[in-house]
Amino acid sequence: MKASENATDDRKPFLSDIMEIRRRARQHIQAGAVTEGYRADRQTVLRLLNEALATEIVCVLRYRRHYYTAAGIHAQAVAQEFLEHANEEQGHADLIAERIVQLGGDPDFNPEGLLTRSHSEYSATEELLEMIQENLVAERIAIESYGEIIRYLGDDDPTSRRMMEEILATEEEHAEDLRMLIQALGAKGSTQTGDGHEAKGNKSQAPAAERGSGGQAEGQEGDAGVQARHAAIVEGRKGAQPQAGGGDRAERGKGGRRPHS
Ligand SMILES: [Fe+2]
Ligand SMILES: [Fe+2]
């Protein structure tokens, strides 16, 4: 009995809090999801989310450009990966825009100033290995800046933080995909000669490893399966079979956020 009495005593102040919470919720209904209990600096959060939105839009544009312009003996496998990433970046942009509106802000889709707002860069390179490198650099920039946004949000806006954490996890997968592709292409480039594209890939191999994956060597052993998968994709694509690249992605279970694929 004593325990239940204590429980009742503990609940009383909480119940009166509920009344207060309800009163406050009714007070500014037009504020939507933003209540008086929202602890973050809303304007700063909106600015950061709009920067993340711009970053995602630029990533969509860059990946799509690379998808359509990738050329060379290994292009189809790589282009398929670019397309999947582009679609997932579009999904991220949609999530972020939705959250901005929930917070009572304006999602900024204005093409003017897009690159200034974006953390990542656009690249119109036409060389396959450089495309992968540029995308890996952009992913690593996104990983860094999203990590900062997540730390900033902390417990002040847990909904935005969880969204950014989910997005961050996907960007890390993207970076890993690209690193594996560089490895697979490098391996092919170093074993095959007599083809213009192979020679190009071979030449760029060293800077790719340095730029994209500082200290990645330690991961190679444990990633043998993924590495083999990507190598197999590259190998399979030599015969130009357009569907093989899409299937492996489905196994990962990205929480069903693949709106366009
Ligand atoms: Fe993204
Ligand atoms: Fe990404």
Residue 20: band (very low, low, confident or very high) from pLDDT cuts 50, 70, 90:
confident
Residue 118 lies in a domain: yes
Q: How far is the CA of 67 from the centre of ligand 2 (A)?
A: 14
User: HSE on the CB side for 102, CA within 13 Å?
Assistant: 14
Residue 96's nearest CA partner among 171, 172, 38 is 171
- The pLDDT value given to residue 138: 95
Question: Per this entry, what is the length of the chain?
Answer: 261
Residue 132 lies in a domain: yes
Q: How far is the CA of 9 from the centre of ligand 1 (A)?
A: 48
- Overall domain count for the chain: 1
Residue 85 lies in a domain: yes
Residue 41: band (very low, low, confident or very high) from pLDDT cuts 50, 70, 90:
very high
Q: How far is the CA of 61 from the centre of ligand 1 (A)?
A: 12
Q: How far is the CA of 151 from the centre of ligand 1 (A)?
A: 18
The DSSP line for 38-93 is: --S-HHHHHHHHHHHHHHHHHHHHHHHHHHHH--STTHHHHHHHHHHHHHHHHHHH
Residue 1 lies in a domain: no
Q: How far is the CA of 46 from the centre of ligand 1 (A)?
A: 17
Q: How far is the CA of 89 from the centre of ligand 1 (A)?
A: 4
Q: Which of 106-120, 149-163, 175-189 has the lowest mean pLDDT?
A: 175-189
Q: Which of 64-68, 165-169, 187-191 has the lowest mean pLDDT?
A: 187-191
One-letter amino acid of 86: A
Mean pLDDT of the 166-175 span: 98
What CA–CA distances, in Å, run from 94 to 64, 80, 132, 165? 16, 21, 24, 15
Q: Which ligand is nearest to the CA of 146?
A: 1
Q: How far is the CA of 198 from the centre of ligand 1 (A)?
A: 30
- The pLDDT value given to residue 21: 65
Residue 82's nearest CA partner among 9, 138, 157 is 138
Residue 36: band (very low, low, confident or very high) from pLDDT cuts 50, 70, 90:
confident
Q: How far is the CA of 89 from the centre of ligand 2 (A)?
A: 6
Residue 199 lies in a domain: no
Residue 223 lies in a domain: yes
Range of the structural domain that residue 50 is part of: 38-186+207-252
In tens, the pLDDT along 174-219 reads 999 999 999 998 877 654 433 333 333 333 333 333 333 333 333 3
Residue 72 lies in a domain: yes
Q: How many whole angstroms from its chain centre is CA 174?
A: 7
- Which two structure tokens, joined as six digits, stand for 190? 């170093």
CB 58 within 8 A of CB 115: yes
Q: Provide the mean pLDDT of the chain.
A: 75
Residue 41's nearest CA partner among 116, 142, 168, 149 is 149
CB 107 within 8 A of CB 96: yes
Q: How far is the CA of 136 from the centre of ligand 2 (A)?
A: 9
More confident residue, 13 or 187: 187
The pLDDT > 70 percentage for the chain reads 61
CB 45 within 8 A of CB 206: no
- 194 membership: H or E segment, kind and range: none
In tens, the pLDDT along 208-253 reads 333 333 333 333 434 455 455 455 544 544 433 333 333 344 333 3
- The pLDDT value given to residue 88: 98
Mean pLDDT of the 65-91 span: 95
Sorted by sequence, the CB contacts under 8 Å of residue 175 that are 6+ apart come out as 136, 139, 140, 143
Q: How far is the CA of 31 from the centre of ligand 2 (A)?
A: 32
Residue 171 lies in a domain: yes
Q: How far is the CA of 114 from the centre of ligand 1 (A)?
A: 15
Domain CATH code at residue 181: 1.20.1260.10
- The pLDDT value given to residue 13: 54
CA 182 to CA 191: how far, in whole Å?
A: 14
Neighbouring residues of the ion ligand 2, judged by CB less than 5 Å? 139, 171, 174
Q: How far is the CA of 11 from the centre of ligand 1 (A)?
A: 43
- The pLDDT value given to residue 99: 98
- The pLDDT value given to residue 202: 37
Sign of CA dihedral 53, 59, 61, 67: negative
